[in-house]
Amino acid sequence: MLRLSSPLLPAVLAAGLLAACSSTQVDPTAKWTPDRIYTEARDEVSAGAFDKAVPLFEKLEGRAAGTPLAQQAQLEKAYAQYKAGDKAQAQATLDRFLKLHPASPATDYALYLKGLVNFNDNLGMFSWLSRQDLSERDQQAAKDSYESFRAVVTRFPESKYANDSRQRMTYIVNSLAQYEVHVARYYYDRGAYVAAIGRAQSALTDYEGVPAGRDALLILIKSYDALGMTQLRDDAQRVLDSTYPAGTAAAPGASELTKKSNPWWKFW
């Protein structure tokens, strides 16, 4: 077994230390001021390099801890994470911000951004464009998004984000209702009339007053008719006639129920 003599030991240890130091990554921001870090992070965001901006904002949070600039860095980090596609981290950052700074003047923006993180502006397209069902996960994200936008509207009605939040809330509700109608239509076309009735009723009770309500009533009428439930069919027809009086004297056939329609859900 090779043993090092005592005169060589310090030299070996010194060489090891030098090698370790040479492999340690130097922090280029070590001597930067908080203002410079913020400027560099903003430049990365402007260039679309969101993944590079995130660690800079994280450094700024530490360097400027306890100052308004640290709060700003936290919010802008959440935005960069959102734009980089890291929605889970963006939501975690926003939840932390809202917990630590409940009285911040930027609370309305934090809530609005939280709504955007979970917002999917393709919700209303799935049934006639992508033919892709809205998964249960997407539904929950949409509901979480709705709650965030609702918080903006109810807590900060004069916020510059309130109007857009209202429009997105309407879009989400319409899209979720249309999803229920889409599923009801699927069951109706396959002769599963009881299941079709259940989903159509969900669209009517859970999302009252939305445009998809007319389609839900039409499916109810046809399903009740197919089951020979004439009283319920006639009741649904009366609701249809009183709620949507124009051109609703008769319920459509199955082919009309499955026909594609023009998008009604886009507001901006």
CB 130 within 8 A of CB 123: no
**Where exactly are the structural domains of the chain?**
34-91
Is 66 in a helix, a strand, or coil?
Answer: coil
Whole-Å CA distances, 192 to 156, 164, 188, 205: 45, 39, 6, 20
Q: In this structure, what DSSP letter does residue 263 have?
A: -
pTM above threshold 0.95: no
Residue 41 neighbours by CB under 8 Å, 6+ apart? 53, 56, 57, 60, 73, 76, 80
Query: Would you state the structure tokens that stand for residue 29, as one six-digit string?
Result: 């921001």
CB 254 within 8 A of CB 188: yes
Q: Inform me whether the pLDDT recorded for 83 exceeds 50.
A: yes
pLDDT digits (tens, 9 = 90+) for 186-219: 999 999 999 999 999 999 999 888 888 999 999 9
Report pLDDT for 24.
60
Q: What confidence tier does 27 reach under pLDDT thresholds 50, 70, 90? A: confident
CA distance 68 to 90: 19
